[in-house]
Structure 1
Amino acid sequence: MNINKAELQKETFYKTSRSGGKGGQNVNKVSSKVELLFSVDSSALFTDDEKQRLNEKLQNRLNKDGYVQVICDEERSQYLNKEKALERLIVLLTRSLQVQKSRKATKVSKTVKAARLDTKKLQSAKKEGRKKNFEI
């Protein structure tokens, strides 16, 4: 599924705060740390089945209010941190929406088993031939 960045941005909320780390005086003055909040349940972008799948997959990422929380404070610019947080949210949602293909158990065929046993016998015979026969 392809998630539209502009539509997703309309449904997200941002909280900003002062960030630690590099930046000198800029760190003490500018709120560059961004906390992105997105509610899966109130979103109009997803169907009910997709919302249920998202809630199951992202249950560890949901806060007590039911919002998916993405925090970014890597850049010195608030704008860049918002962009990175939104990109991370898109990646998180697309990965969560992917349905894994169910694995079908397969059985090893008789010919493959026989071939493996034959190679084992050949290897065993080769090593047996290397032994020295001692008789006392």
Structure 2
Amino acid sequence: MIEITSRLAISEDEIELSFVRASGPGGQNVNKVSSAVQLRFDARNSPNLPDGVKSRLVRIAGSRMTQDGVIVIHAQRFRSQDRNREDAIERLVELIREATYVAPPRRKTRPTLASKERRLASKEKRGDVKRLRQGKPTAE
């Protein structure tokens, strides 16, 4: 089991790992060894995720989630397969952990009298500046 929070964990059976060749630096090794990791996690059909977490996960994952609800994470930051595997799993855990957070609802507030007065004073001052810039001759 991979622990997400103290109350939430996902089974390792739900994660599908495949290894592909990485792009970028690595010398001759990059052409021989499949060190990049492609992690696939079916979030929509996961029995361990609550419905609220699933819906927030769809919004947070964005382009990392397919039409079928599968999250795909491609990790090739490191040269070793083990470190890329750990990196991919950690990124998935962070994504799900972010989806577990529920933002508190916003309470509507009214502007205070002082803030209204400050706003009107700044508008009046700005209007005075613009009026002075018009360059109309004063009659004296």
TM-score w.r.t. length of structure 1:
0.72
Q: What SS is found at the alignment partner of 1:71?
A: strand
Question: Per-residue CA shift, 1:3-23, capped at 9, x if unaligned?
Answer: 789844332101111112111
RMSD: 3.5
Q: Which runs of 5+ in 2 are unaligned?
A: 129-137
Measure how far apart 1:101 and its partner are: 2.0
Report sequence identity in percent.
33
Q: What SS is found at the alignment partner of 1:42?
A: coil
Q: What SS is found at the alignment partner of 1:50?
A: helix
Q: Name the count of aligned residue pairs.
A: 132
The question of whether the paired residues in 2 share the 8 Å contact of 1:9 and 1:86 is answered with: no
Q: What SS is found at the alignment partner of 1:103?
A: coil
TM-score w.r.t. length of structure 2:
0.70
The question of whether the paired residues in 2 share the 8 Å contact of 1:18 and 1:32 is answered with: yes
Match of 1:68 among 71, 83, 86: 71
Q: Does residue 41 of structure 1 match 2:41?
A: no
Q: What SS is found at the alignment partner of 1:91?
A: helix
Q: Does residue 53 of structure 1 match 2:60?
A: no
Comparing both chains, which one has the higher relative contact order based on Cα–Cα distances under 8 Å and sequence gaps of 6 or more? 1
Change in CA separation of 1:22 and 1:59 when aligned onto 2, cut-off 3 Å = closer
The question of whether the paired residues in 2 share the 8 Å contact of 1:58 and 1:96 is answered with: no
Q: What SS is found at the alignment partner of 1:23?
A: coil
